[in-house]
Amino acid sequence: MRLSERYDAIVCDLDGVVYRGEPAVPYAVESLAGAGLPVQFATNNASRTPGDVAAHLRRLGLDVQDGDVATSSQAAAWVLERHVQAGARVLAVGGDGVAAALRERGYVPVHSVADDPAAVVQGYGAQVTATDLAQAAYAIQRGALWVATNTDHTLPTADGEAPGNGALVLAVGAAVGRGPEVVAGKPDEPLYLMCAERLGVPPERVLAIGDRLETDIEGAHSAGMDSLFVLTGVHGIADAVLAPPQCRPTYVARDLRALDAPVEELARVSTALRAEWERRDRGEDSENLPSDLAQLVT
């Protein structure tokens, strides 16, 4: 049985899994196209709209619609429905993707505490100012529900690591004396659960794919999904060996060709990895990786 035959749908991270900047990651496009499963492409990036992301994926050769992309801004608006009625005014902090997601769910984006918002949705935007953060703090202090799209502390750029939305959330938190009531993006579960709802598939029948252990893989754990950790992005096999329990993947593979690989083949690597985790949980550090894991490094 191929790995893709074991599941009914896929939730797939983007940066480091499908593309790196503009170019596609090797084997990603053909592997996803050949998997034969519905896919939701889930990203913590709250600044871009789903249409922008979908257009990028189409340029790479994937047959996707705008609705196949799920952003943390959309997850924030989705989870907001459990707390605030549609039609309410919501202070939108971040890029265009934040306000667009709120409008999709019937909310009225505003940008000033003078508009008496019922909630604050805070996401990343390159043009976010100190004034925007102050307006968020004022609204939260007056009782507005605070939803963060994600809490990634850094944002990779061509020049290095820039402050991410998590850093901006900390700035507001310093003013109000606490953190947000809800975080929508990975590693919290709303983004993945929204994807499962869109796919019409129970979380336990969805395979979550990612390259970051503390966001993609931990998010899969939070949502009750199995996970495939690919070594095409941020983290490597040594990081997986050292991962705490909530960040440990179900499967690990060099790249997305694993979707067409026999489950038995992937299980050998998973078994070796579990043995390493058990050894380390007992306090027994290993100097050398077992051969099944070492082969993933070369």
Residue 284: how many other CB atoms lie within 10 Å: 9
**Which tens digits make up the pLDDT trace of 149-198?**
999 888 766 677 789 999 999 999 999 999 999 999 999 999 999 999 99
Show the low-confidence residues of the chain (pLDDT under 50): 298
* Amino acid present at 197: E
State the Cα–Cα distance between residues 193 and 260, nearest whole angstrom: 25
**Is 50 within 8 Å of 21 (Cβ atoms)?**
no
d(CA 107, CA 86): 5
Of 16, 14, 5, the residue nearest 64 (C-alpha): 14
Amino acid, single-letter form, for residue 44: N
Three-state SS at 253? strand
Q: Which residues are annotated as a binding site for Mg(2+)?
A: 13, 15, 211
**So which residues are the catalytic ones?**
13, 15
d(C-alpha 218, C-alpha 226), whole Å = 10
Strands 154-157 and 160-163: antiparallel
Model pLDDT, residue 296: 67
Amino acid at 247: C
**Which pLDDT score is estimated for 158?**
62
Alpha helices in the chain (DSSP H): 28-34, 50-60, 72-80, 96-104, 130-141, 165-176, 190-199, 218-223, 237-241, 263-281, 291-294
Binding residues for substrate: 186
Provide the pairing of β-strand 39-43 with 206-210: unpaired
Q: What are phi and psi of 144, to 5 degrees?
A: -70, 140
- Pure H helices in 154-223: 165-176, 190-199, 218-223
Predicted confidence at residue 157, as pLDDT, reads 65
pLDDT for 288 equals 67
Do the bridges between strand 206-210 and strand 154-157 make them parallel or antiparallel, or are there none, so unpaired?
unpaired
Prediction pTM value: 0.91
CA distances from 239 to 12, 230, 278 (A): 20, 12, 15
At residue 129, the pLDDT reads 97
Spell out the domains of the chain, with CATH numbers in brackets: 3-44+187-294 (3.40.50.1000), 82-183 (3.40.50.1000)
Amino acid in the structure at residue 169: V
Residue with tokens 């993945």: 192
